[in-house]
Amino acid sequence: MATVVMRFDFRCPPGNATPADELYRAALEMAAYADGRGVNVIGLSEHHNTDDGYLSAPLTVATAMAACTNQAMISIAALLVPLYDPIKLAEDLAILDIIARGRLMVIAGIGYREQEYHALGRDWAQRGRLLESNLEIMRQAWQGEPFDYRGHLITVLPRPYSRPHPLIAVGGNSAIAARRAARLQLPFFPGIDDQSLVDTYNEECRRSAYAGGFVMLPNYPSTTYIAEDVEEGWREIGEFMLYDAMAYGAWRHDTRRAYAESFARDLAGLREEGKYRVLSPEQAVAVIRETGSLHLSPLVGGCPPALGWKSLRLFTEQVAPVIGGRERA
């Protein structure tokens, strides 16, 4: 079955005419509409201390998404685990997994922006250690039994709907991240298509005697807008895609790699790169048949919800039925 991801980050350029409440309302309505109509993963992400309203409360939005859907997986990629208290995070994810009835997937990451740690009072230099210790504490908490935590006996209940816990994978684009995932005996979901990371992970799994490990590499490109007329689609959505690409590009640094990272400075360059695409319904079907996946971002760059709805309805009405996505009345 094809994997169709509908992703939201709520990034909105300063001065954008679309109010935040309209973007969030539209996202919830889109999730409810697309559930069972070919979209099988709803993706959310997390950043803090931004100037464009990037989603900073993914657990809140994920809970709302879980409550208004019944079939789609709810994926948080990535959740910046070092920025949280591990007990509170274990409690919140357990409840979220219950509301989702096991449809939760979390990619645990450390992030790549030091200012996020400053904003939330966390030690950037300790981010790797914090990720590992928090995940270990959370997994112990999810057993539902009393355990010692900082000299006190505590219990975290209710347990998650999933047993022993929701699907948790470690994210990251480095050999350190690959080895960390294996040591923690968790799956590894890197943000780049790099076979050397797979090899490093598998080697560390063997060293750690972890037989259940697996790696999921990203598919490319990352953002697709569907339009009856491709040129008209670019005229509609191009400025919002370019803002999104350049905003991510502004966070670029020497140690950060991302499979969908764009270096475009204008719309012509963005189109030439191919990492952001406008496709006709027929082209979208061909991409899914070739790659097995499609990534939709109906509110990319804070675009007006009406544009997002045009693209989404073309997917559900002209793409999903062809690829075997279930339709609802």
pLDDT digits (tens, 9 = 90+) for 252-287: 766 655 656 788 999 999 999 999 999 999 999 999
Q: What is the pTM of this model?
A: 0.95
Domain membership flag for residue 182: yes
Residues 6+ apart with CB under 8 A from 74: 42, 44, 62, 65, 66, 96, 100, 103, 104, 105
Determine phi and psi for 6, rounding to 5 degrees: -115, 115
Domain membership flag for residue 163: yes
pLDDT at res. 254:
64
Percent of all residues in the chain with a pLDDT value above 90, rounded to a whole number: 88
Q: Write out the residue range of the structural domain in which residue 83 sits.
A: 3-240+276-323
63-120 pLDDT, tens per residue?
999 999 999 999 999 999 999 999 999 999 999 999 999 999 999 999 999 999 999 9
> Domain tally for the chain?
1
Give the confidence band of 219 by pLDDT, cuts at 50, 70, 90: confident
Domain membership flag for residue 268: no
Domain membership flag for residue 247: no
Domain membership flag for residue 250: no
pLDDT at res. 1:
81
Domain membership flag for residue 213: yes
Indicate which CATH number applies to the domain containing 40.
Answer: 3.20.20.30
Domain membership flag for residue 256: no
Task: Return the beta strands (E) in 227-280 as ranges.
Answer: 276-279
